[in-house]
Chain A
């Protein structure tokens, strides 16, 4: 008569133990997934940190690229990313506006969405082949920043479209309806109410795109980036070096490279990428805190 109705039974206790077990197990799995990032960064910092200096960033490679700096690769990457942005952002934002504000809910829109997903899934080397076939050869741009950037732009287009579309759709429908009822055209509504409230989301997507584009190697390898050139690019028709390709080159194509050099290059590259990604994430969090409705 004195037993406590709510005392834990043997079954309860076993369940609790199993529960705790799984909690730990999954937690460990998550940790194992995450630690590589930290380990990699740590290793890169340790082995490549010594290479970091203003000289490293601002001088040219020398001695057959076994020494010296990264300048042409850095500048080249900036060129590539900028031109790619110039092309992909207008097209991507336009596509997203179409999908979010105009597209009817029919099979054709579905095909567009499918095309975006597939464009995002095409292997990077196939993008390179496309770039060679289309821009280098067919349009006659030759291996140039233009060909490489266009290839990159098409490759990263889905990123811009998806980020923009999501930020547009985050603006409540009621705002649009209110404007339409007042006699505003679709564009007037978009320009005055929808876009201004989506710009921040779009920027987040753009930063993300920059980060992706910086790290890509295969699409630029045959379309405009070269192993070495002693000149900085002067126009979009020039060839150029690129940070991503440079890492590949000093790691695999150059004999006699001192151990720290590739680590230094990798460190700078991953530093650029991670900084931009973190910017994008931080920006997103800041936006979420500044609610406007």
Chain B
């Protein structure tokens, strides 16, 4: 296993030798819905095993960006994606089996979704789709994912409860468990803490810090402080453009290049 990437905290001063390989790279990305432009001219690189934060106000194009990454644009009518996106250095616009891509990317939405099956089946779904049939293996995976999602203690005695009937916060953690059950290379969390109470948010943040050793994490959040706590680097999206990317410490200690970034972080808008 590669040692955690040493991510340079200074913009521009990067040493190639110690950098982790690029997990996801995006070049001149442009997303539009019919005549409406959602995202334009976005170029960035996300390195392996880093926690990459994305902050910005609503309608900045963050969610469109996420949709393009795992090619969910194919399921969205009217959504047009242009530009280059590379995952593990493969152009994702040219895959024979796009489902393989999605299996490697776990997504957690803002709104919790507990599938209408037992908690066990919820978490066992992704492994089963991978072909794992042995109950013993599934048991292990289910327990591990539920523990990491900080949900195991609450459901371990009622794994046959319906996932769709759990409380909102539990459903959100169930969603996280499901994403983890994919054993993803890239974990994407889109404002996961909206439906979760602060204590559980803390627990999950601790888990994320552990998880980065095994996977790469993209954290979209409207809680600027959450980005500060967790992210190695953070991108600031505004009105369809990526305004700035910087080492998190830089962004938050004031060494930013763009006044808008500064204003957003200071809470002046958004």
Seen from chain A, the residues whose Cβ lies within 8 Å of a Cβ on chain B are 104-105, 174-175, 177-185, 188, 192-193, 197, 292-293
Q: Is the CB of B164 within 8 A of A193?
A: no
- CB contact under 8 A between A184 and B99, given known A178-B178, A292-B162: yes
Report yes or no: A293 in contact with B164, Cβ–Cβ below 8 A.
yes
Total A-B contacts with CB atoms under 8 angstroms apart: 63
Residue among B109, B129, B179 having the largest count of chain A Cβ atoms under 10 Å: B129
Please, which residues of chain A bring their CB within 8 A of the CB of B106? 182
Judged by a CB distance under 8 angstroms, whether B224 is at the interface is no
A112 vs B88: C-alpha distance when bound (angstroms): 43
Asked if B113 and A180 sit within 8 Å, CB to CB, the answer is no
Number of interface residues of B (CB under 8 A): 30
Determine the chain B residues whose CB is within 8 A of the CB of A104 once the complex forms: 77
Q: Is B103 an interface residue (CB 8 A)?
A: yes
Q: Are B72 and A183 in contact (CB under 8 A)?
A: no
* Cβ–Cβ contact B102 & A183, under 8 A: yes
Chain B contacts with A in 156-183, Cβ cutoff 8 A = 162, 164-165, 175, 178-179, 182
Known: A181-B102, A182-B125. 18 other contacts (CB 8 A): A105-B77, A175-B113, A175-B115, A177-B72, A178-B115, A179-B115, A182-B178, A182-B182, A183-B101, A183-B102, A183-B126, A183-B182, A184-B125, A184-B129, A188-B129, A193-B116, A292-B162, A293-B116
Whether B107 sits at the interface, judged by CB under 8 Å, is yes
Counting from the closest, the 9 A-B pairs by CB-CB distance are A183-B103, A183-B102, A293-B164, A181-B107, A292-B116, A178-B113, A183-B99, A174-B113, A293-B116
Q: How far is the CA of A105 from the CA of B109 in the complex (A)?
A: 26
Given the contacts A183-B129, A192-B125, A175 and B116 also touching, CB distance less than 8 Å = yes
A182 / chain B contacts, CB cutoff of 8 Å: 102-103, 106, 125-126, 129, 178-179, 182
Q: Does B100 touch A at the CB level, under 8 Å? A: yes
Contacting residues of chain B (166-225) with chain A, CB-CB under 8 angstroms: 175, 178-179, 182
Answer whether residue B75 sits at the interface, using C-beta atoms and an 8 A cutoff.
yes
In whole angstroms, what is the CA distance A252 to B125 when docked?
62
Shortest A181–chain B CB gap in Å is: 5
A to B CB contacts below 8 Å, 13 in the list: A105-B77, A175-B113, A175-B116, A177-B72, A177-B113, A180-B75, A181-B107, A182-B129, A185-B99, A193-B117, A292-B116, A292-B164, A293-B116
A292 & B165 in contact (Cβ 8 Å cutoff): yes
Contacts of B164 in A (CB 8 A): 292-293
Q: Is the C-beta of B147 less than 8 angstroms from some C-beta in chain A?
A: no
Closest A residue, CB atoms, query B163: A293
Task: Chain A residues near B117: list those with CB within 8 A.
Answer: 193
Chain B residues whose CB sits within 8 angstroms of the CB of A188 once the complex forms: 129
The smallest C-beta distance from B220 to any residue of chain A, in angstroms, reads 14
A198 CB to closest chain B CB, in angstroms? 11
Docked pose: A183 CA to B116 CA in angstroms: 18
Chain B residues whose C-beta falls within 8 Å of the C-beta of A193 in the assembled complex: 115-117
Quick check: is B155 within 8 A (CB to CB) of the other chain? Answer: no
Give the nearest-CB partner of A171 in chain B: B116
A185 to B103, CA, bound (A): 11
A174 touches B116 (CB 8 A): no
Residue ID in chain B nearest A106 by CB atoms: B77
> Is B70's CB within 8 Å of the partner chain A?
yes
Question: B111 an interface residue at 8 Å Cβ cutoff?
Answer: yes
